[in-house]
Copies of this chain bind each other. A is one copy, B any other.
Amino acid sequence: MKLSANEEYGLRCLVRLAYAGFEERALTIPEISQAEGVSPAYAAKILRVLRKGGFVKAARGKEGGYTLARPAASIRIGDVIDALGGRLFESDFCDSHAGQAPICTRSVDCSVRSLWRAVQVAVDQVLSKTTLRDLLQNEEEMNSWVRTIPGANGLRLIQ
């Protein structure tokens, strides 16, 4: 249960593109690569995932580059993370972790499964209510905003 590199870099790239969108500007792979400190080839690989997910669009050739495919406010971070790193508790998780048994021997009635669902719901609670637009604020604004998420009341962000 760890954030993946794809999730981290992918989201950072999107935020950058959203900012560039304010000035109607496209960003090229070299630009993004340098801004995030990753290799151009790796940036390209990440951008491809974002393009296939429908979050950004690309223009080729001179004067080309990447822009958001739709307004930042309509891009749910939950969807972005799904595209970049899959779900925490995939629907086939129990099937694929059944070892040699046909399925978790407790599968008809499994409290562990119930716990994973609860964790997944808790994560979705935050991610599905956050849009790319919400990430275009400074950290402090973001901290207060996140506390207003219903179901996440009382979250304490001091770590």
- Report A1 CB to chain B, min CB distance, Å: 5
- Distance (Å) between the CB of A97 and the closest chain B CB? 5
Whether A109 lies near B88 (C-beta < 8 A) is no
Query: Knowing A91-B159, A137-B111 touch, does A86 contact B1 (C-beta < 8 A)?
Result: yes
Q: Contacting chain B: which of A6-14, A23-31, A65-73?
A: A6-14
Cα distance A159–B90 in the bound complex, in angstroms: 11
B152, A118: Cβ atoms closer than 8 Å: yes
Task: Contact check, A112 vs B151: say whether CB atoms are below 8 A apart.
Answer: no
Contact A159 B109 (CB under 8 A): no
Is A61 at the interface (CB under 8 A from chain B)?
Answer: no
Q: A2-B1, A105-B37, A135-B111 are in contact. Are A9 and B123 (CB under 8 A)?
A: no
Among B3, B4, B111, the residue within 8 A (CB) of A138 is B111
12 CB < 8 A contacts A-B: A2-B88, A11-B112, A15-B112, A111-B134, A111-B137, A115-B142, A119-B123, A120-B159, A122-B122, A122-B125, A125-B152, A151-B153
Residues of A within 8 A of B (CB): 1-5, 7-9, 11-12, 15, 35-39, 77, 81, 85-91, 93, 97-101, 104-106, 109-123, 125-127, 130, 134-143, 146, 149-157, 159
Kindly list the 4 A-B residue pairs having the minimum CB-CB distance in the complex, ordered from nearest: A37-B99, A37-B101, A114-B142, A38-B99
